[in-house]
Structure 1
């Protein structure tokens, strides 16, 4: 056989083998990297995450972020309305904010609101009749409404259920509360609470932006919940169509 032909055939054989070897090395490296990434994710996770679906985890993170946004808004409102925390009976705004936060997360009543919670507390906190720390009452009312809309919980697991309609309603309520915050005045025409500001000196719309983030998270969770329950219904319908027996355990 011609020497040139032999060399040509050898090269043709070596090229696929070399390519296959490179691909195998890449696959091995990718597999090892994925293994390290998975191990790192497990090490950074918490044990209770094993009892959460992806939607449960997202609802938990959404609630965490929404409450953090609410506490940020509370601090900003105290800065713009320093006379309010003084009516709370605490030594400073930090102490007042800490007590409001504990009351929300532990579902405890707020003395200034009596037994009022959720929507009743929200309406009362923005009424001219309210006397006391209006910032604390307003933030507490929204926080308690958020927790109530999520079934009274701030963390969610496989055994929990969240009504998407209630979550959507909470988003709409916050939109209304944001508008009322910028409009409600006392008998002298002075805003009950100062928040957003548009003037010749400049604009401050950070309150509306932060409230908008909360609304966006709630709307996203609503869509996820709707899709999850829709898939449950579709899976059930498919099982009937295919005449499959349903699992009992």
Structure 2
């Protein structure tokens, strides 16, 4: 067990969130294993990183927000980070949610809010990798393969974000780049790297604690096929 704790500390220190290990005691924690507590902390951290990504993408791509009259970043964050996913998907996105939205977000024919489609896909996928739970208890199960597949899908999303262009050769969504002062901005890449690290390390810890195997897979970055969660 101590090995998982140390692995968790390493991950959280790299993502700037080690202080979350010092949360106050809660009576419900008596129904949690050490692995449950570690999982809860990682869920909170990846949700924080995801929210940062939503805000940054909208600030970098304000035209997407303007496609829906009266929409604000705060409203989008509330939609995307709600504790409960919409049962019938997002009406604005044809009733879809999760992985099914990722190809839509990178389709040159899509005319809706591309940031919303992308982040509904990302948040839904991450939520599914944790069984749509925000915390875990003793009898709850978690699948290491879902976590691993999610990490690989996040790698693909990061690649597509930097490479998918429209018919005019313009990136569908702006992210990393060089500012007017000539200083490179790789903050989006760092956020994705931290999210991928959390999912990969969670997959390893779950596999180790349950004596289960992770089926490692290879995928083409350029394809629009994502691994199931």
TM-score range, shorter chain: 0.7 to 0.9
Aligned to 2:47: 67
How do 1:44-55 residues align onto structure 2 when only pairs under 5 Å count?
A: 44-55=24-35
1:82 aligns with 2:62: yes
Aligned to 2:221: none
1:98 aligns with 2:78: yes
The equivalent position to 1:168 in structure 2, one of 148, 151, 170, is 148
Structure 1 runs (4+) deviating above 6 angstroms are none
Aligned to 2:136: 156
Q: How many residues align?
A: 189
The equivalent position to 1:125 in structure 2, one of 105, 111, 134, is 105
CA distance 1:42–1:210, change in 2 (3 Å): closer
Aligned to 2:12: none
In 2, Cα distance between the equivalents of 1:177 and 1:157? Answer: 31
Aligned to 1:107: 85
SS at match of 2:67: helix
Q: Between the two structures, name the one with larger relative contact order (CA 8 Å, sep ≥ 6).
A: 2
In 1, Cα distance between the equivalents of 2:147 and 2:130? Answer: 7
1:217 aligns with 2:175: no
In 2, Cα distance between the equivalents of 1:83 and 1:213? Answer: 27
Deviation sequence 1:176-204 (CA, Å, 0-9, x none): 00000111111111111100014771200
SS at match of 2:66: helix
- Of 192-201 and 120-129, more deviation after overlay is shown by 192-201
Q: CA RMSD in A?
A: 2.1
After TM superposition, give the deviation of residue 129 of structure 1 in Å: 2.1
Greater percentage in helix: 1
Are the equivalent residues in 2 in contact too, given 1:88–1:96 (CA < 8 A)?
Answer: no
Query: Which structure's CA Rg is the greater one?
Result: 1
Deviation sequence 1:140-167 (CA, Å, 0-9, x none): 1111001112222221111110110110
Unaligned runs of 5+ in 2: 1-20, 213-229
SS at match of 1:59: helix
- Of 195-204 and 59-68, more deviation after overlay is shown by 195-204
After TM superposition, give the deviation of residue 51 of structure 1 in Å: 1.1
Unaligned runs of 5+ in 1: 1-40, 232-249
